[in-house]
Amino acid sequence: MSGLIVRHLSAGYSKRQVIRDLSLPAVPAGTLLGLLGPNASGKSTLLRAIAGQGRSSGQIELNDEDLNLLSHAKRATLVGYLPQSLPGTTSLVAYEAVMAACRAVQPNFREATVEDAIESTFDDLGIRHLALERMSHLSGGQRQMVGLAQVLVRRPQLLLLDEPTSALDLRWQLSVISAVRRMLEKSRAVGVIAIHDINLAIRTCDQLAVLDRGEIIASGLAANVITPEVIARAYGVSSRVETCSRGIPFVLADGTLG
Amino acid sequence: MENHSARYSQAAVRPAGPLARRYAVFVRVRLAILGLLALFLVVAFTLDVFTGPAALSPISVINGLLHPENLPGPVRYILFNVRLPYAIMAVLVGASLGLAGAEMQTVLNNSLASPFTLGVSAAATLGASLVLVFGLASIGLPQEVIMPASAFALAAMAAMLIHFLAQTRTNGADGVVLFGIALVFAINSVVALLQFVADADTLQQIVFWGMGSFSRSTWPKIAIVAAVLVIAFPISLRNVWKLTALRAGDAQAESLGIDTNRLRRNVMLRASLLAAVAVSFVGTIGFVGLVGPHIARLLLGEDHRFFLPGAALAGALILSLASVASKTIIPGLIIPVGIVTSIVGVPLFLSLLMTRDRRI
């Protein structure tokens, strides 16, 4: 099938295994899977493992291609991974940072191709006005947008985003997610996004998976996944799941448990 | 709310025209700055050839360069065995140190990194001192060959030690520079010990070597330094995109499929080769590898397509000017150029550090 399949994945560091024998629901092309879970539940490790970073074993297939069989460089052309850390404050202007990301991965692209890709990426994200600013003059949220542009500019078939909205205000959170969704639909790519805001995830992801201590404790459609029991188990908080005026569930956290 | 959306949409609409075209202006300005740096370097080089204790007029120098066969013997000797080798060596060593410093600063993500501050230069001094004191000439090679070879070997070892530490990165990038400083102190104490056991003649040679001077420049040495630079520079240029991507962050570069550890190792090897070869022929010349990249960064930013050539040009320019100064500060006397770069380098570096906070 076209899409992402992750089965029996184990990953971690040399001394500590973070996730063991983990399987994700199949993610069809053009859709977005949201990864929820408390801090240190293994979301970042999972994304890094799919991106091919760190030690891991298991089955990772993208559009029927086994990613583990690909070279580092070839995998980087297919997979766009946005790390959780923000891009650094350098004297590079945003345009250069994005161009370098494109050139370092795709050295054979023609100049015009690269220029077009950069242009449309800045437009898609609505950050055209930042293109010629030095990274050191940008705010954390703005640098996060540039970091995302570095990933999107390469038009990857698999997008792995580790909390791309952590430094963003409300408006930019929504515009980032909708830019990602547009790109997924346009290029029939697969997206996996680690995200802390449960309500944002419910509204914007096609499927959700909840991680707790390296295990998937619930996965599938939001309505089936998001229950007070799952939230209590993952986050240790008591909560209510209600329905908003548009019929979409939303979560109200009431207090910590135990 | 309305204010808010007005602010956002205004910001999104303001710039006109394709980004590529507007960025091209950036590129043109940077190329012009590189051109200016090259022009200044030519001027500084010319001045360097014109100045010296032997009072040759500029006209006689030019005539001598154009028609060497008409020159009287001593003047020809001064021109072709002193002035030209000095001036060319200054350009080559300055460019090597500038390039090495720039690459080290990028891969260690620390603008205080340079062959001098990381102990590569000090290690070269130790290597040379070892040969001077223990006279390893018994292996059958002339001292001319053994001394640079030994200086290079120790400089490369220091660079590998630093690379190893940078790789473990338990102390972060600052830890690497602190380690470099510790290494400088440690090596200097060993050199001091060697100086203590050396006889008077050797002691003088060690001290003089440590000062850094072009007086040992010969055409074969120039050829070696030039060859290393000519080989290393294109390899550096092949990595410009990776190095630029690395400036956005380690995790970012790794997510691009760049093997950052390998990149770091290769760059440190290449940079230490450049620095070690340069200092092993001319002795310790500090601050050029530190200040050159700083000037290039202020003028050109950190797109390595411009930053690396700019750092090489700036290093060459600084050392050429320092060479001119070393011949003119005390008329009739050539001060070791390493003394000049240290005297000028410290205030220059401090002022760059202060302007950096404003500009970057």
Report pLDDT for B359.
Answer: 43
Rg (CA), chain A: 18
Beta-carbon contacts of residue B338 (< 8 Å; ≥ 6 apart): B210, B211, B212, B213, B282, B283, B284, B285, B286
Q: B360–A100: do the CB atoms touch at under 8 Å?
A: no
| Interface contact flag, A97 B297, Cβ < 8 Å | no
Inspect the interface and report whether the beta carbons of A90 and B302 lie closer than 8 Å: yes
CB spacing of A131 vs B249 below 8 angstroms: no
Is the pLDDT assigned to residue B11 strictly greater than 60?
no
Coil, strand or helix at B118: coil
Q: Kindly report the nearest CA distance between residue B252 and chain A, in angstroms.
A: 6
pLDDT band of residue B75 (cuts 50, 70, 90) is confident
**Pairwise CA distance, residues A147 & B149, whole Å:** 45
Centre a 10 Å sphere on the Cβ of residue B134 and count the other Cβ atoms it contains.
Answer: 14
Q: Chain B closest CA to A81's CA: distance in Å?
A: 6
Distance, in Å, from the CA atom of B47 to the CA atom of B322, rounded to the nearest integer, reads: 11
> In the block, which residue shows the tokens 């120790």?
B154
- Contact A139/B at CB under 8 A: no
Secondary structure of residue B262 in the 3-state scheme: helix
How far is B168 from B161, CA to CA, in rounded Å? 11
Nearest CA in chain A to B23: A132
Which A-chain residues 85-114 have CB contacts (< 8 A) with chain B? 85-88, 90-93, 95-97, 100-101, 103-105, 107
Mark yes or no for CB contact A101/B258 under 8 Å.
Answer: no
B302 contact residues in A (CB cutoff 8 A): 90-92, 96
Q: Looking at chain B, which residue has its C-alpha nearest residue A175? A: B8
Per-residue pLDDT tens, chain A, 258 aa: give them: 689 999 999 998 877 888 889 999 999 999 999 999 998 889 999 999 999 888 888 999 999 999 988 888 888 889 999 998 888 888 889 999 999 998 888 777 888 888 888 999 999 898 999 999 999 899 888 999 999 999 999 889 999 999 998 888 888 898 889 889 999 999 899 999 999 999 999 999 999 999 999 899 999 998 899 999 999 999 999 999 998 898 888 999 898 887
- Which amino acid belongs to residue B355? T
Using an 8 Å Cβ cutoff, are A185 and A124 in contact? no
Question: How many whole angstroms separate alpha carbon A236 and alpha carbon B311?
Answer: 55
Percent helix, percent strand, percent coil in chain B, to nearest 5: 80, 0, 20
- What pLDDT is recorded for position B17? 57
- Mean per-residue pLDDT, B236-249: 90
Q: Does A151 touch chain B (CB under 8 A)?
A: yes
Asked whether the beta carbons of residue A95 and residue B19 sit closer than 8 angstroms, the reply is yes
Interface residue of B33, B256, B306 to substitute, partner A, most A CBs within 10 Å: B256
Whether the CA torsion A186, A191, A195, A199 is positive or negative: it is positive
Q: Could you tell me how far CA A147 lies from the centroid of its own chain?
A: 12
pLDDT per position as a tens digit, A90-146: 888 999 999 999 888 877 788 888 888 899 999 989 899 999 999 989 988 899 999
The contact set of B with A (CB < 8 A) is 4, 8, 11-12, 14-15, 18-20, 22-23, 26, 109, 241-242, 244-245, 247-249, 251-259, 297, 301-303, 360
**Least CA distance to A91: which residue of chain B?**
B301
**DSSP label of B233:** H
Mean pLDDT for all residues in chain B: 83
Which of B1, B19, B29, B359 should be substituted to probe chain A, the one whose Cβ sees the most A Cβ atoms within 10 Å? B19
Q: Which of B229, B211, B219, B209 is nearest to B88 (CA)?
A: B219
Q: Which pTM value belongs to this model?
A: 0.86
Tell me, what DSSP letter sits at residue B22? H
Tokens of A227: 């229950």
Q: What pLDDT, on a 0 to 100 scale, did the predictor assign at position B110?
A: 83
β-partners of residue A253 are A239
Contact of B120 with B108, CB cutoff 8 Å: no
Chain B residues near residue A95 by CB distance under 8 angstroms: 19, 23, 26
Contact yes or no for A83 and B4 at CB 8 A: no
Provide the β-strand partners of residue A194.
A35, A162
The Cα B252–Cα B233 span in angstroms is 25
- pLDDT exceeding 70 applies to what percent of chain B? 90
Q: Is A121 exposed, middle or buried (0-12, 13-18, 19+ CB in 10 A)?
A: buried
d(CA A100, CA B244): 6
Which residue in B86, B249, B238, B123 sits closest to A107, CA to CA? Answer: B238
3-state secondary structure chain A: CCEEEEEEEEEECCCCEEEEEECCCCEECCCEEEEECCCCCCHHHHHHHHHCCCEEEEEEEECCEEHHHCCHHHHHHHEEEECCCCCCCCCCEHHHHHHHHHHHHCCCCCHHHHHHHHHHHHHHHCCHHHCCCEHHHCCHHHHHHHHHHHHHCCCCCEEEEECCCCCCCHHHHHHHHHHHHHHHHHHCCEEEEECCCHHHHHHHCCEEEEEECCEEEEEECHHHHCCHHHHHHHHCEEEEEEECCCCCEEEEEEEECC
In what order do the strands lie in the sheet containing A207-212?
A79-82, A158-162, A190-194, A32-36, A207-212, A215-220
Confidence at residue B360, expressed as pLDDT on a 0 to 100 scale: 41
* A227 in reach of chain B (CB within 8 A): no
Report the C-alpha gap between B104 and B102 in whole angstroms: 6
Which of A72, A92, A108, A123 to mutate to probe the B interface, most B CBs <10 Å? A92
| CB-count burial class (<10 Å; 0-12, 13-18, 19+) for A114 | middle
Chain A with chain B: Cβ pairs closer than 8 A: 120
The single-letter DSSP state of residue B353 is: H
Taking only the tens place, the pLDDT of each residue in B115-138 is 888 888 889 889 888 888 887 656
The residue whose two tokens read 């547009």 is A182
Q: Spell out which residues of chain A touch residue B301, defining contact as CB-CB under 8 Å.
A: 91-93, 96, 134
Q: How far apart are CA B30 and CA A103, in angstroms?
A: 19
Backbone angles phi, psi at B182, to 5 degrees: -60, -40
Sorting pLDDT into bands at 50, 70 and 90, what band is B99? very high
Q: Say which amino acid occupies A245.
A: S
Start-to-end Cα distance in chain B: 33
- Asked if A85's CB is within 8 angstroms of B249's CB, the reply is yes
Contact A128 B15 (CB under 8 A): yes
**Where does B121-190 show beta strands of DSSP type E?**
none
Q: Say if A47 is an interface residue toward chain B (CB within 8 Å).
A: no
